Amino acid sequence: MRDSEVFSQGFTGFMLVDPVKDKVLYAQNEDKYFTPASNTKMFTFYAAYKVLGDRVNALDYLESGDSLIFWGTGDPSLMHPDFEDRSVLNFLESSDKQLFMADNFGEVQAYASGWSWNWYNYYYGPERSAMPIYGNIVRFTKQKSSPRFSFSPRYFADQVQEDLSLPAREYTILRDQKINDFRYHLVGEELSFETDKPFVTSSQLTREMLQDTLDKSITMISYDSVKDRPHQKLKGIATDSLYKQMLKISDNFLAEQLMVLVADELGDSLNMRNAIGYVEDHYLEDLPDEPQWVDGSGLSAHNKFTPRSIIKLLVKIKAEVPEEKIFAYFPSGGESGTIRSWYKSDDEHPYVYAKTGTLSGVHCLSGYLLTKSGKTLYFSFMHNNYVISSNELKKEMEKVLYLIYDRY
């Protein structure tokens, strides 16, 4: 490890623990802070697992006379293309009352501190919001058999235009930075692809899209007029389905919205900073090093954790979450998620169940390693400030982890 020419190209931290013996098998820079990237999602998962229960709060609402007033909790599943939950739609469709939407969008910043402004056009950078709809993205899909692509939601039909001046090897789809204006250029008819483009969110846009779907009038009202009134919470999608997608494919949007949901559950507001503070004080007070935790996804370079704090988190997860759930949620080496092409075992049973984390100059991998002798070890590999390709790092990490798998 310390003599590795690959790891010497940046700053590396590593810790390996045998929990049965309560023994540190190896440690290097385990007490130093690293930018964790999407390793942050393990903290988000733990917070949500402790707070949310089996189903999310899909909607806050109150009924008054002939009026049904509702507002968002941060639930990401409303008309999300990857989920089929209709809790909110069924609830609003079945109501015979006049619908009013309270505008609490001001409680959630679209981008977190430390996010890059130019992520607006990339699949991994949807805006956060109080009441997401369609996952806050437009999904473009093209089949080889079709000369054109389709997209959803069709609400944006008038805002998707061909632009042959755009440079494209195969296809290009660009959104304007500040408005929902999409331009595209397709070069090859035999292409097939699926890609997501974030749209600019607003309470008014969500109201209009929801109104179109329900075919019912929805009136916008001030959130201040209702936020202190007694209200109820509508239960929605199972948290299991959100955890699995968030961790397996490292879904940034779901991670951010899960922390908004935690805030709603804890304080009946959508203040994520307060929610993170509560979780740190009540569930993570015994971490060896105080975390610097600012968002749900790890997109922010302002997040800072040490390898030994991540090991402590892995201990907590293993003690409190059933093993079958951990193995269902986490990416598995050679088989699923973000490590399906790496860390393959010698048989059909994966030996690495771990969360990746990647930003420019950052690559981390932390989780559980199942050895040939039947032990389950906890590890945290963190690399910052490297100038080589992440594939070179992964190849070297693969050698180290396979050696541990084979010999312990």
Q: pLDDT higher for 188 or 276?
A: 276
Task: Answer yes or no: are the C-beta atoms of 378 and 315 closer than 8 Å.
Answer: yes
Contact 196, 220 (CB under 8 A): no
Average pLDDT value over all residues in the chain: 96
Q: CATH classification of 7-52+242-407, choosing from 3.40.710.10, 3.40.50.620, 2.115.10.20, 3.40.50.1100?
A: 3.40.710.10
Specify the pTM: 0.96
Q: Is the pLDDT of residue 1 over 80?
A: no
Q: Which residues contact 281 (CB under 8 A, 6 or more apart)?
A: none
Is residue 35 within 8 A of residue 47, CB to CB? The reply is: no
Q: Is the peptide bond before 153 cis (omega within 30 degrees of 0)?
A: yes
Spatial neighbors of 267 by CB under 8 A, at least 6 apart, are 274, 275, 278
Segments making up each domain of the chain, as ranges: 7-52+242-407
CA-based nearest residue to 343, from 359, 329, 358, 356: 356
Summarised one tens digit per residue, pLDDT across range 224-273 is: 999 999 999 999 999 999 999 999 999 999 999 999 999 999 998 999 99
What span, in angstroms and rounded, lies between the C-alpha atoms of 243 and 246?
5
User: How confident is the model over 125-182, as pLDDT tens digits?
Assistant: 999 999 999 999 999 999 998 888 999 999 999 999 999 999 988 999 999 999 999 9
